[in-house]
Every structure is written in structure tokens, then in C-alpha cells.
A and B are shown apart, each in its own frame.
Chain A
Amino acid sequence: MNWSDIGTIAPVVASVLVAAAILIVDLALPNRRQAVIATALGGLGVVAAVILLQAGHAGSAFGGAYSLDNLTVFLDAIFVAIAVLTILFGVDYIEPRGLPIAEFAAILVFAVTGAMLIAGSTDLVLLFVALELMVLPGYVLAGFARRDPYSTEGAIKYFLLGSFSSAILLFGLAYVWGITGTTRVDGVAAALAKVAAGGSIQPGLAMGLAFMSAGVAFKMAAVPFHYWTPDAYQGSPTPITAYLSVGPKVGAFAIALRLFVGALGPLRADWLPVVIVLAAVTMTLGNLVAISQDNVKRMLAYSSIAHTGYILVGLAAYAGGQHSGLSAILFYGAAYTFMNMGAFAVVAALQRQPGVSSQIATFAGLGRRDPWLGALMAVFLLSLTGIPPLAGFWAKAYVILAAVQAGGWLTALAVLAMVNAAAAAFYYLRVVVYMYMREPAEELRPSSPGLLFRVGLGVTCVLTVVFGLFPAIATAATNAAGVFGG
């Protein structure tokens, strides 16, 4: 180790320091929530600055275990944005419920540190450690409302299935290590390229591939490995659900990029069929079940499963020979982050007073009661539906374009994705129906969220619209980040 290694992993280091600083401030100045929030937001601002300073640079640290490239920078930026938004949305929700804000912020920043470490991992062992660093705080966050039985139930399910899937993933990694004799991503790729050139793959490698696919599919909540998602999402405090729906998901896709594209790329013809089936089943089942949900958080949970399916179409397009599938995944990840967090944030805003449920009836008459909140929710839902000119539309368009370019079975997958998108319109627009076309059963007061919350909502909405009107702003970054790993 030397000092330049520290420079390369500077964002991760900075992020750990921020988490520690939050805890220290809380210890030194108890009951001073402003100080904690200022430390968290200011610290994350520094982390963001460090990431931006790294933009355009490349390098590796610790003998190639960690790589700094455009992909790392892009994903780091998304993860920091997720952390900042979660804190902006969280304060208004956590405080009235008497939950500790400093723990919330610190645990969240630790989780995001793990996600950022995943982004740069080019070693199988480091990848696994980073993954655990991301998901362990996630379990704690899911059970953060510890007096709420739903939160505890969701957290336990999330923890048990999550640990199980981590073990499965690790088992798969062990097979790959056993066969290739290395844990470095580029070394694995080189060894597997020889295997792929030699024709059929050994049973051991096929087993490893299967275990790794299952493990990663668990983390990204792909069907049939999605059972933890609805309970964990519904039970968690809503701002934390917002985090869980994007942070670990983008993190799981970061693993997919580093592991399946970076290390297992040479075998992509072998894992392509698996991804096609996963994508088809995931989006179809996610949408079908979402249609029948009456709880908006649960509905958004199933919708997030469906979005996993759409993103997987991009991965399938890559495996089918279209490199543009990777930038499509990244664009989707960014667009999905902002529109989905925005949608959950509106739910959180309505639930600011403890006791308000996330049933769809809560939304009745929102357009009249709270015109701004209603309009924002409508924008997020239309974007999730994929209506132009909003970010969600381009996300789908790029994924579909890559799939159509790859041709063959992938064209059929693209058509299936579009049929699914039309079906999804039903449940997204159902919320709009409640907001604008139905009168509330009982009179609810406008929720009037605080300043931080409004800033967060404003940012997510502006980004959803700006990426929609000028997608070229984001595609420059996603195209650059889509080229990695030599």
C-alpha cells in the first residue's frame, strides 16, 4: 500500500470518515439534530466533490483489487445522490416518530460506502466484502422502526434471505476461483476466455455460474428470487424504503457489471439465456402482481421488481452482442433512482403524521388538497410509466433500442417489455385516478413538508424532467461509463 492507493479510493475513505463524524457529532452534541444533519449533508457534499475531482481519471489500487474508471465515478455519483436524497427525505419522517436521526444517517452512509466500494471492485473477494458492507446496514435500516411489527418482520425476512443469497453468491465465487485460480477480475476474464475458446464449459463452472446468477438475482430482486422485496419495502419506514428500492438495486447491478460483464464476459453466450428468462419472468410477474395491490408502497415494491426486469433487458442486450446495452443499464439506473425515490418521497410526505397509512385511499383527492404534491407524484408516476418527455421514457427507449439492435430473441424480449410497460400504466395511472378523479373519504390535512424535504423533491423532479427533455446530458456520461474493464 502507498499514498497513491489512498488517493484512488479517496471517495470511499471520505465516506467512512463522514459516517464516523456523524456519530462523533452526535456523541459530543447530543440532541442537536441540526448539527447532525449539517454534518451528514456537508460531509456528503465533500464526498461528492472528491468524486467529481476523480472524473476523467483512471487508475487502480491495491494491486488491481480496486479500479478507478468512468464506471466507478458514475456509480459513486449516483450512490452519493441516493444518500443525500434519503437524508433529505428522512428527517421529516424519522423525527415525528421519535427515531434517532444520527444512527439513521450514520448507518445509511456506511451502507453507501459499501455500494461505492462495489463500484470500484475488480477483485472477487473485495466485491463480496463490499457487498456485505452495503447490505448489512440495509438490514438494520429495514428494521429501524423497531416498535413496529411490520418493520421487524420485513427486516427479518430481508436479513434471512439476504444472508442466504450472500452465501450462495460466495459459493459461486469459490467455484470460479477454483477453476481459474485467481480472484482478480481481469485474470478471471483472461482464464475464462481460454475456456470459452475451447468450446463447452466444465460442470463445475456451470455450477458456479448458476450460484452466482441466483445470488445476484436475489440482490436485485429478480423473479423468482424476489420474495423478500414486498415485505421489506412495505414494513420499512418510507424514506428507508425509498433508499432500499434504489441503493441496493443499483448496487446489485454494479455487481452484475463488475462480475458478469467484467469477469464472466467471455462466457456471455452461456449466461445470455438465463438473463433473457430472468428478464421476461421478472417484468411480467412484477407487473401482474403490482396491478392487484391496494397499498402504494407494496405496489411500488412490485413495480421496482418490474423495473429490474427492464434493466435486465439491457444486460441481455449486452450479452447478445450490443455494447450499448451497458450504457442503457446505467441510464436506466440513474433515471430510475430519481423518479422512484421521488415517488416514495411523496408517499413519505403524506405519512409525515404518524398513523397515516400508505393505502391508495390516502391519495384520494390529493390533487385538490395538495396541488404541488399531487403534480409531483403525477410526474414521477408518468415517468415510471415511460411517457415522454420524461426520464423514464428515455430509460426504456435506450434499453429497447439496444435489445432491438441485438436482434433475434432479444427483439421478442423488447416487444414483451413494451407490452409490460402498457400493462404497468394501469397501476401507475390508478394512483393518478385517485389523486385527481376521486374525492377523499375523510378529510386529511395538507402535509406541508419541511424545507429539506422540498429541496429533495424539487431535485428529483427537475432531474426527471431535465433528463427527459435533454437526455444527451446524461448519455455522455453513461456512454463513457459503459466502457470499462479493458
Chain B
Amino acid sequence: MNLPILSLITFTPLVGALVLAALPSRHEELIRRTALGFALVAWGLSLLLLAAFALGPAGFQFNETVDWIPAFGIQYKLGVDGLSVLMVVLTTTLTWISILASFGPIKDRVKGYMISFLVLEVGMIGVFIALDFFLFYIFWEIVLVPMYLIIGIWGGSNRIYATMKFVLYTLVGSLLMLVAILATAFAFQAGHGGSWTGAFDYTQLQAWSAGGHFANDLQILAFLALFLAFAIKVPMFPFHTWLPDAHTEAPTAGSVILAGVLLKLGAYGLIRFAVPLYPYAAHTFAWPIIVLSIVAIVYGAIVSIVQPDLKRLVAYSSVSHMGFVTLGIFVFSATALQGAVLQMINHGLITGGLFLLVGVVYERTHDRTIAKMGGLAAAMPIWSTVFGFFILASAGLPGLSGFVGEFLVFVGSFGVAPVIALASIIVMVLAATYLLWMFQRVAFGGLSDFLRGLGGHLTDMSGTEMVTLAPLAIGIVVLGLFPSLVLDLLRGPAQSFLAAAGVAVGG
């Protein structure tokens, strides 16, 4: 047996959390550096995984299987395909960036904060590599608690309301998902003469589903339960109302992870589990979901225009951007799916960067109200340049990665219904409106009275802050120019997704 690299990546942060727990909490600087160190090790391991990942063969690689609860056939089973690898790298990258970005802003209870972040990383990585339905659920729930604490302890003034809303929304979805998982496993068990072996194993469940063995009504109910859980997480319209509160109240790094990774958990769940296991139901509900996606795209963009708060604006723009992801998934085309996954990565990089940049301003001004800003281009030239870059990326400027993802989703969905493409083009205009208008109000013009009152506090970005943004900016340019780096990895997963969804794969 080879090195269990997936377990290593997953549990490196956990070891880090235990080490931190043993350190006395007064050594704050040591705690910060140790946390960053473990996050960087996990990142390095995930890059090794990416390098070692073989592009050719279909199916899952680096599999690890250990029986966990044999009585019910529940296994500790991990494995990755191209999709998982990309998500794992995204997670580990954003985690160390978030930890580094928290060095300055988080001054209270540093130890608890860093432990929460590392435990959060364990849960997030686990979700992306679990190949046992039950294990997936467990990692899914593990994500909840640290995020609840991060928002609730280190968040803004309305944090308790926001964090309870986040938890309750997520729990309603996930507990119903548990019922669906158990019902699915039971259907599998009943179909295998009462043997639980493989009843939670993703590959076996998928093969069983491909054989058309899951009854239609089971598929409908289970799909709806899973869809609810994932749609809340994505979040899709109309399940998105927790998102603006959680994003606004979370500390900067919390918003980065929330937008960068947590929203992807939902989209990943749809691609990995909801559609391939219940293809009949997925086709039955495809059109309503496409409509909801378009509503989310348009609604998110329109609501963004009128937001008075920088973070809230970025949060609502997430609803719009993630609409492209769900759209790309449910039109069932290889191009659109690749576009959707690329869009997931882009959104992680771009929105993560935007939240970091808003955080930079907030650190200096303790305010995020757009109306109070103005003239930052003169006061903080580097910040304004970088902010402008991320704004353009978010608006979908060709040559940067945001454009490629949305474009692929267009192309893929045009074949299904040209009207979708029309709606999407309107949104391109809306996105340019709310982003550029916001940028104009914040960066241009004379320095506002509010900012002038801050005087010497309004310094430009520090070296650390630039280090946190550099990898994201590089990623955006590289993926914008060479999207095939990602798309090649996604060819296999897209094919098996379509095969599982019961769509003939053509040229």
C-alpha cells in the first residue's frame, strides 16, 4: 500500500489543532505561526497530490478503504477524481490565506480561533474526498460547528443572529439529507438480500443506480432532501437568505472561507451525489432548477446594485455567480459542467479576494458603508489597483478566469435553450453596473470627509496583505489564459457525470 496521502492531507490540520490545544494561550504569536505552518503543510501535500494525479484513467485514485462500522457496511473510504483534486487544492489554498489574513485582525482568543479554522479545514477536505455516503455526511456536519463558532465569537455586532440563522438553515437541510442517505442505503440493502455490504459505498451505489434499481418515488424523495441540503448551502434562490447575514457578520477570513469553500460544498454535493445517484429525479426537476438558477443569477445581480454595505454587495453577487454553477450542472452538457466547476474555482478565487480587500479597508476604517467611502484611489493606490483587478475579474473581463467559466456555461446551455443565454447576457451588463459603480464610488473622486477624518490611519496595503492576495491574483490570470489546465482535469469527471445522469455523451 502506498502512502495514504488523502488521510495525511485531511488530518494534518487536525494534528495542528491538537498541537495548538496543548500550547498555552498566552503565546499568541507562536499559536498563529503554528497554525499557519500546519495549513501550509496541508497545502504542500495537496499540491503533491495534484502533481501525482494521473490525468488519463477514469475513476477514483489514491483510494483508501477501512471498515468502520461493519454491521452497516459503513466504511472509511476516500478517493479523488479531477473534480475532488481541484476542490481540495482550492480548500487548502484558501485556508492558509485565511489564517495568514487573520494574523492582524484577530486579537482576541487567538487559540480558539486557530483551532476552529484547522478543524474546519478537516471537515471541508473530508467532504471533497469521502466516497462513503455516511462518511460524507459526517464531514459535512463537522464543517458546521467551527463555522458557527467563527461567526458567533469573532463576528460583527449582529453575529449571534447571523450564526444561529446559518446553523438552523444548514441543519434543517442536512438532517433531512441524513434520512435520505439512510433510505437510499436501505433500498440498496433490500435489493441485495438484506446484506449491508456496500450500502453506503459511493461506487456501488452509483453502479446500482446506473442499473436502474432505485425506484422512482425513492429517487424523487431522496433527491428533494439532498437538493434542499445542497441548495441551502450553495445557496440557491429562495434558500439564500442566511448568506448575506452570515457573510456580513463573519470576520474577514470567515467570509473568505464561507464564500470560497463552503458554498462549493453544496455544488459539489449536487455533482457528486444528488445527480448521479438519482438521475430520474434530477431530470424530473431539471427545469424548475434551471429556472431557479436564472432567477438567482438575475435577482442576485439586481439586489447587489442597491446594497449600501461593501460586504453585503459581494455576498449578493455570490448568489448571482453561484447561479451559473447550478445552471451549468442541470443543463446536462459536458461543456456547461466544466464551466460550472471552473466557475466554482473562479468564484473561490475572486470572491475570496474581494472579501480580503474589503477586510483591508475595514481594518483601517472600521466601516464598510459605500456612501462613506470615496477617493481611495489617491489614499491607497496599491489597494485600489488590486481591488480594480478583482472587480474586473468578477465582472467577467475576457482574459481573466471569471470570463471563461461563465462563457462555457453559456455555450453549454445555449444548445438546451437559447433563452437562457439571453438572460445571462443581461446579467453581464448588470454585473458590470453594480461592480463598476461600486468601484467608482469607493475609489474615485475626492477623499470623503469620513476618510479624511481618519488621517494617518489610512495606510496602503501591508506586505502580509499583499502576500494573501498574490496567489489569488496569479490563479485568476493563469486560469484566464490557460483554462485547459483545469478543464483537462475535469474531462473525466464530466464524462462520468453525464453517463451517470443518463445523457448520451457525444462530441
Contacts and interface: CB of A to CB of B under 8 A. Distances in A.
Interface of A: 367-368, 382, 386-389, 393, 397, 400-401, 404-405, 411, 414-415, 418-419, 421-423, 425-426, 429-430, 432-433, 436-438, 471-472, 475, 479
B137 A388 contact: yes
A472 B69 CA distance: 6
B47 to A, nearest CB: 29
Given A419-B175, A471-B69, A387 B145 contact: yes
A393 B178 CA distance: 11
27 contacts: A367-B112, A386-B175, A387-B145, A389-B142, A400-B182, A401-B186, A414-B182, A415-B176, A415-B179, A419-B172, A419-B175, A421-B175, A422-B171, A422-B172, A422-B175, A423-B168, A426-B164, A430-B164, A432-B148, A433-B152, A433-B163, A436-B153, A437-B159, A437-B163, A472-B68, A472-B69, A475-B71
B162 to A, nearest CB: 11
A430 B163 CA distance: 11
Contacts of B41: none
Contact of B178 (A418, A425, A426): A418
Interface in B2-37: none
Contacts of B176: 415, 418-419
Contact of B144 (A387, A405, A430): A387
Interface of B: 68-72, 109, 112, 137-138, 141-142, 144-145, 148-149, 152-153, 159-160, 163-164, 167-168, 171-172, 175-176, 178-179, 182-183, 186
Contact of A472 (B71, B141, B145, B178): B71
Given A401-B186, A405-B186, A415-B179, A382 B172 contact: no
A404 B186 contact: yes
B178 A400 contact: yes
A433 B160 contact: yes
B179 A414 contact: yes
B158 to A, nearest CB: 12
Contacts of B145: 382, 387
Contacts of B112: 367
Report which residue of A368, A418, A426 has the largest number of chain B beta carbons within 10 angstroms of its beta carbon.
Answer: A418
A415 B153 CA distance: 32
Given A418-B175, A419-B175, A429-B148, A404 B182 contact: yes
Contacts of A388: 137-138, 141-142
A382 B171 CA distance: 12
Contacts of B138: 388-389
Contacts of B160: 433, 437-438
Contact of B153 (A382, A426, A437): A437
B183 A425 contact: no
A364 to B, nearest CB: 12
Nearest to A430: B164
A388 B68 CA distance: 14
Nearest to A420: B175
A422 B148 CA distance: 14
B167 A425 contact: yes
Given A423-B168, A433-B152, A479-B71, 18 more contacts: A367-B112, A386-B175, A388-B141, A388-B142, A400-B178, A404-B179, A404-B183, A419-B176, A422-B168, A426-B168, A433-B160, A433-B163, A433-B164, A436-B152, A437-B153, A437-B160, A471-B69, A472-B71
Contacts of B171: 421-422, 425
Contacts of A430: 164
Contacts of A400: 178-179, 182
The list of the 6 closest CB pairs from A to B, nearest first, reads: A418-B175, A422-B171, A388-B138, A422-B172, A437-B152, A401-B182
Contacts of B186: 401, 404-405
A415 B179 CA distance: 7
A429 B167 contact: yes
Contacts, number: 79
A437 B150 CA distance: 10
Contacts of B109: 368
Nearest to B138: A388
A429 B179 CA distance: 22
Given A387-B144, A433-B152, A475 B178 contact: no
A382 B141 CA distance: 11
A422 B229 CA distance: 12
Nearest to B174: A422
A382 to B, nearest CB: 6
Contacts of A426: 164, 168
Contacts of B167: 425, 429
B157 to A, nearest CB: 12
A387 B145 CA distance: 8
A436 B149 contact: yes
A106 B183 CA distance: 48
Given A389-B142, A401-B186, A436-B153, A425 B168 contact: yes
A276 B488 CA distance: 53
A368 B175 CA distance: 31
Nearest to A423: B168
A402 to B, nearest CB: 9
A422 B169 CA distance: 9
Nearest to B177: A418
A280 to B, nearest CB: 15
Contacts of B142: 388-389
Contact of B183 (A368, A397, A411, A423): A411
Nearest to B70: A472
A425 B317 CA distance: 30
Interface centre among A388, A415, A423, A472 (most CB of B within 10 A): A388
A332 to B, nearest CB: 15
Nearest to A469: B68
A405 B144 CA distance: 28
A432 B149 CA distance: 9
Contacts of B149: 436
B164 A397 contact: no
Nearest to B152: A437
A422 B232 CA distance: 14
Give the interface centre of A421, A422, A436 by most chain B CB atoms within 10 Å. A422
A437 B183 CA distance: 38
Chain A CB within 10 Å — which of B149, B153, B186 has the most? B186
B104 to A, nearest CB: 22
A386 B171 CA distance: 10
A405 B109 CA distance: 46
